[in-house]
Structure 1
Amino acid sequence: MKLLIVDDDPLVCQSLQLLLGKEEDFEVIGVALNGQEAIQLCHLQPDVILMDIQMPIMDGIESTKIIKQQYPFILVMMLTTFQDERNIRLALQAGAEGYLLKSSTVEKMAENIRAITSGATVLSPDVLKTIMEPSRESLQGLTERESDIVELVSQGLSNKEISEQLYLSVGTVRNMLTIILDKLELRDRTQLAIYYWQRKSQLGK
């Protein structure tokens, strides 16, 4: 498995290159010190990019967005010290398949890198806890009809089933769902359902 390491700290790059390079199935094919360099090295076709977030010239979230557009087959694992909800959600929306903290052990990093290549989305326990406890502020701002759609999505209904229940066209449901996801800064229906049930639990309903 070919890895590309992206971090603005040369010592972090060297450490990860040394430690992960010891794994028999890993080959570190390059390092980059910012997002722009990462994009330039994508011609090497790494299987997985370990991407820091805060870097000069171009940050990890912006470069991830560009990489996923130009090289959708390359997997991106965010590896950062940032654990705030905003960065987590922006990274996932940009297309990252995983989000790990630098405090993770090398063994856990290796295990999770292998996991995303099998199609899993990987979040470290602390990161998962952060997004499972959304701020109340970000839950506000939905209209009554949008709230109805969120509730039906949480019950597993398809766009067609929702349209029949609410007497809307499928296109309208699809458009409203896009607006809802944008408002709540969520990536997909699964995250929306988790968001709904977490909110319901918090409100004690």
Structure 2
Amino acid sequence: MTHPADGGPAPVRILVCDDHVVVRAGLLALLDSAPGIEVVGEAGTGEEALALAARLTPDVVLMDLQLGAGIDGVETTRRLTAAPATATPQTGSGRVPHVLVLTTYDTDADITRAIEAGATGYLLKAERPEELFAAIHAAAQGRTTLSGPVAGRVMANMRSPRPSLTDRERDILAQLATGLGNREIARALFISEATVKTHLRRIYDKLGVDTRAGAVAVAKEQRLLP
């Protein structure tokens, strides 16, 4: 781990959250060589990241989006960046860390959800190490860094906004794309069939379609599906 020179600035304290052990090990080895960066912990789940962040109070959490079982990276980000109402002597100061997303996913839905959840930056894992190091230092200062393709999508969405779907509507749309009927969707999401129909009407209105096939086609075209 990196340590500051005598009298130099304190290093940026990093918590790494990624559910793939090999990927996490590679990130730790990479960050260990980075100037001004100190890895203070690693987590394989969102729940573990929340617990470690409360105890270790990192400056930046490097967050993957897909975390397997349990809460995903977006929900973890939302909880990490929420007001620190749960600080206790046992869990630390409750200081809110900055979250820098590091993922392979660059869909509009993923980007939007992460930014809305409070992520300071959004990087793709294909970035060069120097870009990652710079983004970490920027995130520690509260400055936003986006990968080139991500920035392009954000600008395109600002010029031509995508329909705003709720999380539940996205869930139903994703089930719809697999070919499930209303009854099967209701069972999968533990809601009533009438609720599914209500959400479908709203989805059709927002997407400007009147059929299930049309909704799926528009969702794929506008990259609204996970």
TM-score > 0.5 by shorter chain: yes
Taking structure 1 as reference, are residues 136 and 37 closer, same or farther at Cα in structure 2, changes over 3 Å only? same
Normalised TM-score (structure 2): 0.59
Q: Distance in 1 between matches of 2:147 and 2:71?
A: 24
Gapped regions of structure 1 (runs ≥ 5): 142-182, 184-205
Q: What number of residue pairs does the alignment pair up?
A: 142
Q: 1:2 aligns with which of 13, 33, 53?
A: 13
Q: Distance in 2 between matches of 1:136 and 1:31?
A: 38
Which residue is 1:50 aligned to? 62
- Runs of 4+ more than 6 Å apart: none
Query: Where do 1:1-205 residues align within 5 Å?
Result: 1-42=12-53, 43-56=55-68, 57-69=70-82, 70=84, 71=94, 73-134=96-157, 138=162
Q: Distance in 2 between matches of 1:100 and 1:138?
A: 21
The answer to whether the Cα contact below 8 Å between 2:80 and 2:96 also exists between their aligned partners in 1 is: no
TM-fit CA distance, 1:63: 0.6
Q: Distance in 2 between matches of 1:67 and 1:106?
A: 25
Gapped regions of structure 2 (runs ≥ 5): 1-11, 85-93, 166-205, 207-226
SS in 1 for 2:162: helix
Taking structure 1 as reference, are residues 140 and 53 closer, same or farther at Cα in structure 2, changes over 3 Å only? closer
Taking structure 1 as reference, are residues 67 and 129 closer, same or farther at Cα in structure 2, changes over 3 Å only? same
TM-fit CA distance, 1:131: 1.6
1:108-129 deviation per Cα after TM superposition (whole angstroms, max 9, x unaligned): 1001111122231111111011
TM-fit CA distance, 1:138: 2.3
Q: Distance in 1 between matches of 2:77 and 2:161?
A: 27
1:83-102 deviation per Cα after TM superposition (whole angstroms, max 9, x unaligned): 01111111011111000000
TM-fit CA distance, 1:139: 5.4
Normalised TM-score (structure 1): 0.64
Question: Larger % of helix: which?
Answer: 1
> Identity over the aligned pairs, expressed in percent?
36
Q: Distance in 2 between matches of 1:140 and 1:93?
A: 12
Q: Distance in 2 between matches of 1:138 and 1:15?
A: 36
RMSD of the alignment, in Å? 2.1
1:155-186 deviation per Cα after TM superposition (whole angstroms, max 9, x unaligned): xxxxxxxxxxxxxxxxxxxxxxxxxxxx9xxx
